Amino acid sequence: MTPAQPLRVGMVGYAFMGAAHSHAWRTAPRFFDLPLQPRLTAVAGRNADAARAAADKLGWDSVETDWRRLIERDDIDLIDICTPGDTHAEIAIAALKAGKHVLCEKPLANSVEEAERMTLAAETAAKQGVMSMCGFSYRRTPALALAKRFVEQGRLGEIRHVRAQYLQDWLSDANAPMTWRLDKSKSGSGSLGDIGAHSIDAAQWVTGQSITGVSALLETFVPERPLAGDLVGLGGHGDLSGDAPRGKVTVDDAAIFSAKFDGGAGAGAIGVFEATRYALGRKNAMRLELNGTKGSLAFDFEDMNVLSFYDAAESPDAGFRKIFVTEPEHPYVGNWWPTGHGLGYEHGFTHQVVDLVTAIGEGRQPEPSFADALQVQRVLAAVEASAANSSQWQKV
C-alpha cells in the first residue's frame, strides 16, 4: 500500500482547545484509516517560551510566535484556529486566501459581519479545492450522531418540541477571576456564544431544521470580577481575595430563549433553549430532548454514552429505553474499543479530525461548513437583539 500523503497542520493557540485538538490530530490516524496523514508541523503563540513548552508537551515539531508565519510557510497545508473569537476572521481569511485549509473553533466569529466575510472567503477557496470547517465538536459525539440518524430514519415522525439546555457551574463563585471568555471584545458573547452556540448547532443539525425566529432574555449575575492577568483555562476556581482589582464583565452569564424552527411547508418545531455557567452541580450538561409524533429522544452529555428513546408504537408503559451507544454499529464507535466500553469528551475532537481529513482527502466540503456556522451566528445575533429589545420576537 502507498503511504498516505501528509496533511501538515499549523495550529494557532495551545490552551484548552489547543490541547484537545493536538490530542485529536495525533490520535485520529491511529484508530481510523485516513486518506491523508496528519503531521503536527507547527504551533503558534505570542510567548516564545510558553509556545515552546506547549509544543513539547502536546507534540508539535516547531514553533512560531506570529500566526502569519504559519500561513507563509510552504510546509503547512492546514491552519487550525484555537484562539479567542476576536482573531478568527483575520486568521481564517488570510489562511484561505493563501490556499490553506482551515479548521476554526466555535463560535465561528464575534459578529455576523465577520462570519459573512469568512463564509465568502470559504466559498471562494472551496472552488480551488481549499476546504474549511467550524469546530462544533458535539456533532461527533456518537449518541448525538445516532439521534440524528433516528430523526433521518423517521423514527420520531414530525418533530414538535426541541428542548435544549447547556448547563455548567464553573462561574458560580463570584470571586472566580475575569478571563477572556468574560470580555465581549474577545469572546463576542458569554454563555450564549460559548455553550449556547453548541446547543443551537446541535438542535438544527439533529432536526435538520433551521431556527427562523427567537424571543430571548440575557442576564449577567456578576458584573465585576477580580483581574487575574493572562490566565489560561476556564479560571473558574481562582480564589482571589476580595481586594484584588476588579474588571467589568461585558458578556451574558446566562441566556434563555424560545425559538421557531422551519420544518418546510409551514411545519416546524418550537424550541426552548437555556445556556448558563451558574447551574450549581451541573458540570457539562449539554442536553437535547426532541418530541415528535412517533417518539421522543433525549441526550445529556453528563451521560454521554447513552441515548434515551421512546417509541410510541411500543406499549405506552414501556417508557424511555436507554440505548448504550457503545456498539460497533453506532456512529464512530466501531473503530475504538470492544463492545460496551464507552468514549469521552476528547473523542468528539478526534472524530472531528477524522471527518475533516476524510472530506479534504475526497475533495468534498466538510460539515459544518462556515455557511452552517454563519446560520448559528445569525441566531446568536437575533438572541442578543431580542434581549436588548425587551424580548421582542426577532426574525433570524
Binding site for ligand SOE (CB under 6 A): 168, 194-195, 234, 284
Minimum CB distance to ligand SOE, residue 233 (Å): 9
- 102-115 as b/e, with b when 16 or more CB fall inside 10 Å? bbbbbbbbbbbebb
> How deeply is 172 buried, as exposed, middle or buried, from its count of CB atoms within 10 A (0-12, 13-18, 19+)?
middle
Q: Closer to ligand SOE at the Cβ: 120 or 234?
A: 234
Nearest approach in angstroms of CB 372 to ligand SOE is 16
Q: Which is nearer to ligand SOE, 130 or 343 (CB)?
A: 343
Peptide bond before residue 3 is cis, with ω within 30 degrees of 0: no
Contact 118, 93 (CB under 8 A): yes
Q: Measured from the CB atom, is 123 or 173 closer to ligand SOE?
A: 173
Smallest distance from ligand SOE to CB 20, Å = 8
How many angstroms separate the Cα of 68 from the Cα of each of 79, 106, 309? 11, 21, 48
Shortest reach from residue 153's CB to ligand SOE, in Å = 27
Q: Nearer Cβ to ligand SOE, position 102 or 130?
A: 102
- Residue 102 φ/ψ, nearest 5 degrees: -135, 135
**Shortest Cβ 272–ligand SOE spacing (Å):** 20
CB of 125 to ligand SOE, least distance (A): 25
As a whole number of Å, the end-to-end CA separation of the chain is 50
DSSP secondary structure letter of residue 310: E
Q: Which is nearer to ligand SOE, 196 or 292 (CB)?
A: 196
* Grid cell at residue 389: 429589545
Cβ distance to ligand SOE smaller for residue 41 or 141: 141
Q: Give the three-state DSSP class for 218.
A: strand
Which residue's CB is nearer to ligand SOE, number 45 or number 135?
A: 135
Please tell me the distance from the alpha carbon of residue 144 to that of residue 306, in angstroms, as a whole number: 9
Choose between 34 and 192: whose C-beta lies nearer to ligand SOE: 192
CB 236 within 8 A of CB 254: no
For 70, counting Cβ atoms within 10 Å of its Cβ (0-12 exposed, 13-18 middle, 19+ buried), the class is: buried
Q: Cβ 2 to ligand SOE, closest distance in Å?
A: 37
20 vs 130 by CB, closer to ligand SOE = 20
Nearest to 15 by CA among 65, 54, 53, 42: 54
Task: Tell the smallest beta-carbon distance from residue 203 to ligand SOE (Å).
Answer: 16
Q: How far is CA 113 from CA 39, 108, 110, 282, in A?
A: 33, 11, 9, 34
Q: How far is the CB of 218 from ligand SOE (least distance, A)?
A: 16
Which residue has the CB atom at the shortest distance from ligand SOE?
194
What is the C-alpha separation between 128 and 79, in angstroms, rounded?
Answer: 16
